């Protein structure tokens, strides 16, 4: 059976991407879903946008699409990495292609980004462009009413001309030679935008650039269709809003006789995403809390810690294994607060010390706990050992607990060796001494973002996520009541 490419957007804006895809990929079947009922996305919170995007993705998955294009810049910024982690088909967004094209186009290294408030505040365009060329100056402009103009079919009206002119004239007086249309609605206002900036300024259509990446991925994954394999491609259009208004705009833009069907996404609002939007991490360690927050944010979790619950007493770690300590904390707090709780017990295990300090890592040098004292004792105990004789690994055991269910247990490790002296200031605990050979730095030198890509906690979380769905389904009747 021939499978379709799925396109999702906050409304009609993503049709600019699909139009280009139809032009360049005439033999591909395509399904489009626009969430016009909840448009615009740019003024919504990141959590809301991520939830809405996940609901649309679930709709497309039921249609058995072979690839998903998040044809919305705001949704790309908020949800792309989260969605990619959750599905087993290719998913692409519109920000990276637009960023690359802009960085390649600019001659005077001055670029303006026109986008929604949410996309601008994410900083993703700025980050990707500067990563490509640090000399480029990037300025973002949130165009608050542009998407609404398009959704209401008011392109070309005097009202539209006035709003575009008032928003962009101050920006046009600057020296930008390249302007990114960082919302897929904006190409429908291209003439008005170009008139303000002048013909000498290049407008980058991030959506159109995305289709080039789409073509590459189709061939890379051997998913591309030809006239022989799909001579009569199908096009399906869905909206959560008014199908008549959506159909009128779609007909004008695509010049195609289409039928738009209305879809209700409320059936996708229950389940694992909502269950895990808020997660309590059983720790008061600020360094550890910051790591967990950075790790869980891309997956859509709002992380709380025991710092948010000062009335909760500390749970004494009396276990002799990582799992015993993590289970003790998770189950005790879950029962007390009647909520879902994730607890961890982590430690450093040094081969030459037969796995010590292990579960006693935080108090290796005794009480009161001191990172400096622990590091000093470790260096003394390793004495004159060198190279591979200083091998060690960080270990994490995670326990996810809720009242009345057997907890979920996951584990992760990262391997390295103990340096001969501490280096770096960004970590905590043994990070200044833990040398990660692949990065040729200690964990404290790597910085949080790079460290979180390889850390024992990240690896344990990956293990947790592979087990989560089965665990949730097994205990669903209890979990949904929390």
Give binding residues for Mg(2+) as ranges: 316, 345
Q: Which residue numbers belong to the known binding site?
A: 9-10, 41-42, 73-74, 184-185, 283-288, 316, 345-346, 428-431, 451, 456-457
Alpha-carbon distance of 85 to 11, in angstroms, equals 24
Q: What are phi and psi of 400, to 5 degrees?
A: -105, 120
Look-up of token digits 């770096």:
424
Q: What are phi and psi of 463, to 5 degrees?
A: -65, -40
Q: Catalytic one among 72, 202, 344, 463?
A: 72
Look-up of token digits 């002799």:
320
Q: Catalytic one among 35, 205, 345, 371?
A: 345
Given the DSSP bridges, would you call strands 5-9 and 434-436 parallel, antiparallel or unpaired? unpaired
Cα four-point dihedral sign 65, 68, 74, 77: positive
CA distances from 341 to 320, 363, 424, 444 (A): 21, 24, 32, 28
Q: What are phi and psi of 338, to 5 degrees?
A: 55, 55
Q: Catalytic one among 183, 202, 205, 463?
A: 183
Q: Which residue numbers belong to the known binding site for substrate?
A: 9-10, 41-42, 73-74, 184-185, 283-288, 346, 428-431, 451, 456-457
Residue 177 annotated as catalytic:
no
Residue 183 annotated as catalytic:
yes
- Number of H-type helices and E-type strands within the chain: 19, 17
450: which residues sit within 8 A by CB, 6+ positions away? 439
> What does the block give as tokens for 118?
């949410």
Alpha-carbon distance of 347 to 342, in angstroms, equals 17
Q: How far is CA 442 from the centre of its chain?
A: 26
Residue 133 annotated as catalytic:
no
Q: List, in sequence order, the alpha helices (H) in 221-303.
A: 243-254, 272-275, 286-296
CA distances from 455 to 77, 291, 427, 442, 466 (A): 24, 10, 12, 12, 17
Contact of 31 with 168, CB cutoff 8 Å: no
Alpha-carbon distance of 92 to 98, in angstroms, equals 12
Q: Is the bond preceding residue 215 a cis peptide, omega within 30 degrees?
A: no
| DSSP structural state of residue 175 | -
Cα four-point dihedral sign 277, 279, 285, 287: negative
> What does the block give as tokens for 119?
């996309």
DSSP letter string, 103-118: HHH-SSSEEEEEE-HH
The residues carrying an active-site annotation are 72, 183, 345
């Amino acid at each position: 059976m021939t499978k379709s490419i799925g396109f999702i957007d906050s409304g009609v804006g993503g049709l600019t991407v699909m139009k280009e895809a139809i032009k360049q990929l005439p033999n591909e079947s395509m399904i489009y879903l626009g969430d016009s009922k909840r448009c615009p996305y740019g003024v919504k919170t990141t959590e809301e946008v991520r939830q809405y995007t996940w609901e649309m993705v679930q709709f497309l998955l039921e249609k058995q699409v072979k690839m998903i294009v998040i044809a919305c810049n705001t949704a790309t910024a908020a949800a792309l990495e989260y969605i990619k982690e959750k599905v087993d088909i290719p998913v692409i967004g519109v920000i990276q292609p637009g960023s690359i094209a802009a960085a390649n186009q600019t001659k005077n290294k001055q670029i303006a980004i026109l986008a929604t408030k949410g996309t601008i505040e994410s900083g993703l365009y700025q980050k990707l462009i500067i990563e490509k060329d640090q000399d480029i100056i990037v300025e973002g402009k949130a165009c608050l009413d542009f998407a609404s103009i398009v959704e209401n079919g008011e392109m070309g009206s005097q009202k539209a001309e006035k709003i575009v002119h008032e928003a962009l004239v101050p920006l046009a007086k600057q020296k930008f030679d390249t302007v990114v249309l960082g919302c897929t609605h904006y190409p429908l206002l291209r003439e008005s935008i170009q008139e303000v900036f002048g013909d000498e300024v290049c407008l980058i259509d991030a959506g159109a650039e995305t289709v080039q990446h789409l073509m590459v991925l189709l061939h890379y994954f051997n998913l591309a269709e030809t006239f022989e394999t799909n001579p009569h491609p199908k096009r399906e259009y869905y909206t959560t809003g008014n199908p008549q208004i959506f159909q009128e705009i779609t007909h004008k833009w695509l010049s195609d006789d289409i039928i738009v069907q209305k879809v209700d996404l409320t059936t996708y609002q229950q389940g694992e995403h909502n269950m895990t939007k808020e997660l309590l991490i059983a720790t008061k360690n600020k360094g550890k809390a910051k790591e967990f927050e950075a790790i869980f944010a891309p997956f859509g979790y709002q992380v709380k810690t025991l710092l948010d619950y000062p009335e909760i007493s500390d749970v004494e770690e009396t276990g002799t294994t990582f799992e015993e300590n993590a289970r003790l904390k998770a189950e005790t707090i879950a029962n007390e607060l009647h909520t879902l709780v994730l607890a961890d017990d982590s430690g450093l295990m040094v081969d030459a010390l037969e796995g010590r300090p292990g579960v006693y890592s935080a108090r290796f040098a005794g009480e009161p706990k001191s990172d400096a004292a622990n590091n000093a004792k470790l260096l003394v105990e390793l004495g004159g050992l060198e190279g591979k004789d200083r091998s060690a690994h960080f270990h994490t055991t995670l326990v996810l607990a809720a009242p009345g269910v057997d907890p979920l247990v996951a584990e992760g490790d990262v391997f390295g060796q103990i340096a001969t002296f501490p280096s770096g200031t960004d970590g905590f605990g043994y990070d200044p001494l833990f040398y990660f050979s692949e990065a040729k730095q200690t964990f404290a030198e790597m910085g949080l973002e790079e460290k979180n890509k390889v850390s024992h906690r990240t690896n344990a979380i990956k293990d947790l996520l592979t087990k989560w769905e089965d665990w949730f389904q097994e205990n669903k009747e209890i979990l949904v009541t929390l």
